[in-house]
Every structure is written in C-alpha cells, then in structure tokens.
Amino acid sequence: MPSIHLQGFAPDAPTQPLQLPHVWRAQSLALAAGAVLPSGFAALDAQLPGGGWPAAGAVELLQEPGAQHDWRLLLPVLGSLVAQRSGPVVLVGVPQLQVPQAPGQMPGLMPFGPALAAQGLPPERLLWVQADAPAARLLACEQALRCADVLAVLAWLPRLTGCAPEALRRLHLGALDHGKPLFLLRPASARQAASAAPLRLLLGGVDALELRIFKRRGPPLMQPLLLAAWPERLAATLAARRRPAPRVARPVVHEEGVYALARRVAA
C-alpha cells in the first residue's frame, strides 16, 4: 500500500510540548491569578504558585498537635505589609492551649508584643478580637475583611465544629472581593474536610519546620519542605551556648621584673 504523502506535513519534526497560553500541563505550577506577597523564605516561594502568598484570598494553615509555627511562618510577610502601608493587622481568636482552662477566664494565650516587635511586626499595628464561639470568630473575620484600612486577617479556628465549608468559602470570596489576605489556622484534623481555600499547608515538626503543601494550583508537594523553625537570633544564641567555651590563653609570666615578687627566691 503506498503511503499517502500529505502536502506540507513534515513527519520528522520533533514533537514539542504545546506552549499555548491557556493550556496548562499537569506537572507545572499555575501562574498566580493576582498579586503575590513574598513569604520571606526562598524555598517556600519556589513552591508557591506565583512565587509567594496570594495577596487576596484565603490560605489555610493546618498545624499538627505539638509544636506551633504560625508566627514564624507569617511574620516576614506581615512585617513587609505593615512597613509598606498603614493600617492594622487583625487577629481573631487564639490557639487553644493544651492544658485544661477554666471557662470565663482570660484566654490562655496572648500575643507577646516585644517578641513580635523584634521580628518586624510592631505591636501598635495589631488589633486583637477575642471571641469564643466559632460563629463569632467567623463574623469578626467577615467584618474585618470589609474594612478598607485592614491589611491582613489572621484567624485561629481550633475547633472543627462550627466552621462549615460554606462559611469558609464565603470568607474566601470576601477576601477576594476586598483584596486582602486571610490566613486561617486550623488543627491538622481538618485536613479531611473540604475547603474552598486555593492554598492549604500542613505545618509540623519541632526543631525544623516541616511544611507539606497538599493543595495548591498545581501538583501537591510530595516531600516535606524543611525551613528554619526559629528566628535567627534565637537559634544563634542557643547554638552559641551549646558550643564549648573557648580556651583562654594562659597569661605570660615576665621573667625579668622590677617587682619584688618576680624574683626567684634563692634557695
């Protein structure tokens, strides 16, 4: 059977992957839909779509029971935000302490100003909204997103009940509408729950911050990303304390001396 020779078709050309703008290949990260905020960690920026945290929309950070790394991960981006613009960062709620706590008391934990100021976030730019019920926390988030002066909203939702996916989706849409980043900090048991946030991370680890990105606009990250868990100055101080003390050189003894005691006592 003679082969059909089609005019203009070169069968020897190597097959190039399609580079059309609207064709997305499953192995590549998506471009960010809007502006991004650099996260302060180069290794993390390389893995986030667009090269940083989304400047508008919800990001879910799930923390494993054990070590908490919320401030360590977010202080660089919050520090750069408050340095560029004026307005407060709104904190809604607190993480839950792992100790029994009497109801009606002041919440167990509170943000400590001097430590935040040392890492770039002046405490005068904070607005802390305490609320116990999850519904009240969600309402506070929604109201804070609507305010034009607010720069970012951080919300701690330690309980699974009361945070329905529809409510979180509404928060995400509100954050997109008003152009503000919303960071939701939830327990790791919320991993199985559906969520409308386009970026979801799992934080763990004690000595090093282990990050697993299991939902993003692109393939999920299989291996954990290891970041420095502690601020540089703290880690440097503790490392210095662990090193053995340097040996001090013995003082030189002068042989010729004008002092009475320097002369050897004649036997």
Partner 1 sequence: MHWLAVLPPEPERQAWVWRALRFTPRVAWVDEALLLEVSASHRLWGGPKRLLRRFFGSKAAQAGVEWAQAATSLIAIAVLRLAASGAQPARGLLHDPATLPLHTLGAARPHLATLARMGCNTWGSLRALPRAGVARRFGPGLLSALDAAWGEQPESYPWLSLPEVFDESVELMSLATSADELLWAAQRLLGLLQAWLRARQRGVLACELEWQLDLRRLNGVALPTHQRLVLRTARPTQGMAHLRRLLAEQLARTSLAAPANHLRLRTLETTPWAGASASLLLHEQSKGEHLHELIERLSVRLGAQHVLLPLARADHRPEQMQRWVSALGEVGAASRPAGGPYPVDALYPTWLLALPLRLQVEQDVPQFHGPLHRLSRAQRIEAAWWEANLPARNAGQMPAHSAALRDYFVARSAQAGWLWIYRERPAADQDEVHWFLQGIYA
| Contact residues: partner 1, CB under 8 A | 65-72, 75, 87-88, 94-95, 97-99, 105-119, 123-124, 126-131, 136, 139-140, 143-144, 146-150, 178, 206-207, 230-234, 237-238, 241-242
Centre a 10 Å sphere on the Cβ of residue 189 and count the other Cβ atoms it contains: 11
Show Cβ contacts of residue 164 under 8 Å, excluding neighbours closer than 6 positions: none
Residue with Cβ nearer partner 1 (233 or 263)? 233
Residue with Cβ nearer partner 1 (113 or 220)? 113
The β-bridge relationship of strands 89-92 and 152-156 is: parallel
Distance between CA 164 and CA 54 in Å, rounded?
23
Closest CB 145 distance from partner 1, rounded Å: 9
Distance between CA 36 and CA 52 in Å, rounded?
5
Closest CB 151 distance from partner 1, rounded Å: 11
Phi, psi of 125 (to 5 degrees): -95, 10
Closest CB 175 distance from partner 1, rounded Å: 12
Centre a 10 Å sphere on the Cβ of residue 48 and count the other Cβ atoms it contains: 25
- Residue 226 forms beta bridges with which residues? 210
Distance between CA 267 and CA 259 in Å, rounded?
19
Closest CB 67 distance from partner 1, rounded Å: 3
Residue with Cβ nearer partner 1 (69 or 216)? 69
Residue with Cβ nearer partner 1 (32 or 185)? 185
Closest CB 90 distance from partner 1, rounded Å: 8
Closest CB 218 distance from partner 1, rounded Å: 28
Residue with Cβ nearer partner 1 (189 or 237)? 237
Residue with Cβ nearer partner 1 (29 or 126)? 126
Residue with Cβ nearer partner 1 (31 or 97)? 97
Show Cβ contacts of residue 29 under 8 Å, excluding neighbours closer than 6 positions: 47, 49, 216, 217, 218, 219
Cβ atoms of 228 and 208 closer than 8 Å: yes
Distance between CA 40 and CA 77 in Å, rounded?
6
Closest CB 201 distance from partner 1, rounded Å: 15
Distance between CA 111 and CA 154 in Å, rounded?
12
Phi, psi of 194 (to 5 degrees): -75, 150
